[in-house]
Each structure stands twice: as structure tokens, then as C-alpha cells.
Amino acid sequence: MGNKRYERKIRNYLINKDIQMKIVLTNLVYMVIITTVALVVLLSPLFQDMFLSDSLDVQYKAAETFLTLLKRLVPAVVLVFVLVFIHQVLITHRICGPLVNFTHTFQRIAEGDFTRKVCLRKGDYLGEECEKINVMVDSLRHFVSTIRKDHGKLVTLLEEILGRVEDLDTRTKLTESLNIVKREADLVEKDLSIFKIDEHQA
């Protein structure tokens, strides 16, 4: 039971495994290169004494110092790498979490649903981008709502015009023309109906 909870927590931190692992591994590779270069520069005098000195005493002392440093440096370097790995996972989690949230919102927008907004957790990055996306969603919802209202007015107006025509011949011709317009308006209404702009909309 405890192991399952632990695995679930790890999975929660690896929201987008592909992106997160690429970032973390790239950073770790850079760290390995930097650490290797730093160690070579720092320990090069000892290497020279161990392999190039003519004195056995100097070689022995250099080797002893090298082994002592190695015993101390290896655990420290491993600990630093573990801490950096954990830190990178946490940082990428704060970036990838919002990205996943953005993706879900964009999918809903693509389906014509403008009711979903991006909500970030405390400490998440990309807060400014989140606000811009939410403003965009609000604007789109407003535009569609305005178009729907204008369409409703148009349909009402067409029906009123049809009701006012008294002359039978004029009425027939006008009815045919207005019916064509109304069919087009109905098509527009059908297209607009895919957009969801109200939480309570069926």
C-alpha cells in the first residue's frame, strides 16, 4: 500500500515524462562534463606527481592524497547529482504541469467549448501565459455569444417581415427569398451550436 502511494507521488511529479526526462538528463550531462573538467584541472598536479615524478616518495604521497580526495569527493559528487536530479524534476514539474493544463484547454477550445479556463497550482510557472490564455478564452466566448445574439435578432427580424407582408403575390415571392435567407441563417445557427460558452449549456 505504502509503495503504491509512493509510486503515485512519483508519477504525479512526472507529468510529462518525455519532456521532463530530456531536460533533466541534458542538465545532468552538462553537469558531468563540468564536474569532469573541474576535477581534471584540480587534480592535474597530483597526476603529474604520480606519473611524471622521479621520486617514489613524491609519487606515494601524491597517490595517497589522490585516494583521500577521491574518497571524499565521490560521495559529495553523487549527493550533488541526486539533489540536482530531484531539483530538476521539481522544476520541470512546475513547467510541464501548466503545459498539460494548456493542452487540455486547447483541446476543449478545438471542440468548441469555451467554458474551460487554465487554473495553475501555487508555485507553478507560466502564470503570465496562463492569464493571456484565459483572456483569449473569454474574448472568444464573448465573440461567439455576440454572434449568437446577432443571429437570433436576424431570425426574429426575418419572421417579423414574413408576418407583415399582406399582398399574396409579393408575399409568395418574398417568402421564397426570405426562406433562402432563413435556411442560410439556420446553417449559421447549426455551426454556432457547436460552441459551448455557458457552464450549464447541454
For residues 51 and 135, the model is more confident at 135
Do both 68 and 150 map to the same domain? no
Provide the residue type at 184 as one letter: E
| pLDDT tens digits for range 22-40 | 989 999 999 999 999 988 8
- Asked if residue 121 is part of any domain, the answer here is no
Cα–Cα distance for residue pair 119/8, rounded to 1 Å: 22
Domain membership of residue 173 as a residue range: 130-192
pLDDT of residue 200: 61
Mean pLDDT score of the chain: 81
pLDDT of residue 107: 92
Do both 13 and 106 map to the same domain? yes
Do both 16 and 50 map to the same domain? yes
Q: Which residues have a Cβ under 8 Å from the Cβ of 188 and sit 6 or more positions away?
A: 151
Cα–Cα distance for residue pair 108/98, rounded to 1 Å: 15
pLDDT of residue 6: 43
pLDDT of residue 7: 45
- Asked if residue 63 is part of any domain, the answer here is yes
Cell of 202: 447541454
Band (133; pLDDT cuts 50, 70, 90): very high
Q: How many domains does the chain have?
A: 2
For residues 176 and 142, the model is more confident at 142
| pLDDT tens digits for range 82-91 | 999 999 988 9
Do both 99 and 162 map to the same domain? no
pLDDT of residue 149: 82
Do both 6 and 68 map to the same domain? yes
| pLDDT tens digits for range 46-83 | 888 888 888 888 888 988 998 898 888 889 999 999 99
Predicted structure pTM score: 0.63
Burial of 190 (0-12, 13-18, 19+ CB in 10 A): exposed
Do both 106 and 6 map to the same domain? yes
Do both 93 and 8 map to the same domain? yes
Provide the residue type at 167 as one letter: D
- Asked if residue 151 is part of any domain, the answer here is yes
Band (135; pLDDT cuts 50, 70, 90): very high
Do both 90 and 134 map to the same domain? no
Do both 100 and 15 map to the same domain? yes
Domain final position from 80, 110, 140: 110
Do both 7 and 68 map to the same domain? yes
- Asked if residue 185 is part of any domain, the answer here is yes
The residue ranges of DSSP E strands in 116-157, in sequence order, are none
Do both 11 and 44 map to the same domain? yes
Do both 139 and 102 map to the same domain? no
Cα–Cα distance for residue pair 140/159, rounded to 1 Å: 29
